[in-house]
Structure 1
Amino acid sequence: MKIVVIGGTGLIGSKLIARLTEHGHEGVAAAPNTGVNTLTCEGLAEVLVGAEVVVDVSNSPSFADADVLDFFTRSTGNLLEAEKAAGVGHHVALSIVGTDRLPASGYLRAKVAQEQLIRDGGVPWSIVHATQFYEFTAAIAQAATVGEEVHLSTGYFQPMAADDVVAALGPITVGEPLGRIQEIGGPSKVRMSDFVAAALTAQGDPRTVVADPAATYFGAVLSGDELVPGPGARLFTTTYDEWRAAQAATV
Structure 2
Amino acid sequence: MAKIVVIGGTGLIGSKVVSKLQALGHEAIAASPNSGVNALTGEGLDEALAGANVVVDVSNSPSFAPQDVLEFFTTGTANLLAAEKAAGVTHHVALTIVGTQRPQNIPYFAAKVAQEKLIRESGVPYSLVHATQFMEFVGSIADISMVDGVVHLPGALVQPIAADDVATAVADTAASKRPVGDIEIAGPEAFGMDEWARRALAFRRDPRTVVRDDTAPYYGAVIEERTLVPFDGDAWIFETRLDQWLPANPPRA
Aligned to 2:247: 245
Amino acid at match of 1:236: F
Aligned to 2:43: 42
Question: How far apart are the structure 1 equivalents of 2:178 and 2:81?
Answer: 15
Question: How far apart are the structure 2 equivalents of 1:176 and 1:155?
Answer: 37
Question: How far apart are the structure 2 equivalents of 1:179 and 1:131?
Answer: 18
Aligned to 2:191: 190
Question: How far apart are the structure 2 equivalents of 1:177 and 1:116?
Answer: 20
Question: How far apart are the structure 1 equivalents of 2:224 and 2:43?
Answer: 42
Aligned to 1:121: 122
Aligned to 1:66: 67
List per-residue Cα deviations over 1:155-207 (Å, max 9, x = no partner).
00100101111121122101134352100000111100011011101000011
My pick for the range that moved more, 157-166 or 173-182, is 173-182
1:151-170 mapped onto 2 (5 Å cutoff) = 151-170=152-171
Gaps of 5+ in 1: none
For 2:129, what is the secondary structure of its paired residue? Answer: strand
My pick for the range that moved more, 44-53 or 96-105, is 96-105
What percent of counterpart residues are identical?
Answer: 55
Aligned to 2:8: 7
Q: Contact conserved, 2:105 with 2:221, CA < 8 A, in 1?
A: yes
Give the alignment's TM-score, normalised by structure 2: 0.95
Question: How far apart are the structure 2 equivalents of 1:84 and 1:34?
Answer: 22
1:221-240 mapped onto 2 (5 Å cutoff) = 221-230=222-231, 231-240=233-242
Correspondence 1:143 to 2:110: no
For 2:123, what is the secondary structure of its paired residue? Answer: coil
Correspondence 1:132 to 2:141: no
Aligned to 1:199: 200
RMSD: 1.1
Q: Contact conserved, 2:104 with 2:223, CA < 8 A, in 1?
A: no
Q: Contact conserved, 2:5 with 2:28, CA < 8 A, in 1?
A: yes
Amino acid at match of 1:160: I
Amino acid at match of 2:38: N
Question: How far apart are the structure 1 equivalents of 2:247 and 2:152?
Answer: 27
Q: Contact conserved, 1:153 with 1:213, CA < 8 A, in 2?
A: yes
Aligned to 2:26: 25
Question: How far apart are the structure 2 equivalents of 1:220 and 1:177?
Answer: 36
For 2:10, what is the secondary structure of its paired residue? Answer: coil
For 1:205, what is the secondary structure of its paired residue? Answer: coil
Amino acid at match of 1:245: P
Q: Contact conserved, 1:102 with 1:220, CA < 8 A, in 2?
A: no
Amino acid at match of 2:225: G
Amino acid at match of 2:58: V
Question: How far apart are the structure 2 equivalents of 1:86 and 1:178?
Answer: 18
Question: How far apart are the structure 1 equivalents of 2:213 and 2:126?
Answer: 38
